[in-house]
């Protein structure tokens, strides 16, 4: 079982805004990080910490945290954003990595 909870699936109309959430008690101690995984590819980091984008990630991606819920927001979703998104953080011991179950984003 995952210590982080994500909604299994979310859809968004092309050009609209979508928020994907990741909930877990440990997020009050540790930040969540976010990964995009397109079919047949390895996951790729798109957001880390509170709101930090790796080089090359478009600024339509943003992150936030409120209480025990981290969010990844895509403002003006594009067709290429259709993918699975996973959050990760630390377990209650602070040593081990944990993942959310993933959210399948569909861009309509």
The residues of the shown chain that bind another protein, judged by CB under 8 A, are 2, 29-33, 35, 37, 41-45, 48-49, 54, 86, 88-90, 94-102
The CB-of-90 to another protein minimum distance in angstroms stands at: 5
Give the C-alpha separation, 106 to 15, whole Å: 12
The CB-of-8 to another protein minimum distance in angstroms stands at: 10
Q: Would you say 19 or 99 has its CB closer to another protein?
A: 99
3-state secondary structure of 28: helix
Q: Would you say 19 or 91 has its CB closer to another protein?
A: 91
Q: Which two tokens stand for residue 91?
A: 């377990």
Q: Would you say 37 or 76 has its CB closer to another protein?
A: 37
Q: Would you say 44 or 73 has its CB closer to another protein?
A: 44
Q: Which two tokens stand for residue 55?
A: 């080089």
First and final C-alpha spacing in the chain: 31
Measured CA to CA in angstroms, residue 49 lies from 57, 69, 82 at distances of 14, 13, 22
The CB-of-63 to another protein minimum distance in angstroms stands at: 12
The CB-of-10 to another protein minimum distance in angstroms stands at: 15
SS (H, E, C) 25-40: HHHHCCCCEEEEECCC
């Amino acid at each position: 079982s995952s210590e982080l909870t994500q909604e299994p699936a979310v859809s968004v109309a092309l050009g609209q805004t979508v928020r994907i959430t990741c909930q877990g008690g440990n997020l009050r101690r540790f930040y969540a990080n976010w990964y995009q995984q397109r079919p047949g590819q390895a996951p790729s980091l798109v957001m880390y910490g509170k709101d930090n984008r790796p080089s090359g990630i478009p600024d339509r991606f943003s992150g936030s945290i409120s209480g025990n819920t981290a969010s990844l927001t895509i403002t003006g979703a594009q067709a290429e954003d259709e993918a699975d998104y996973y959050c990760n953080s630390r377990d209650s011991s602070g040593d081990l990595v944990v993942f959310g179950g993933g959210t399948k984003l569909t861009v309509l």
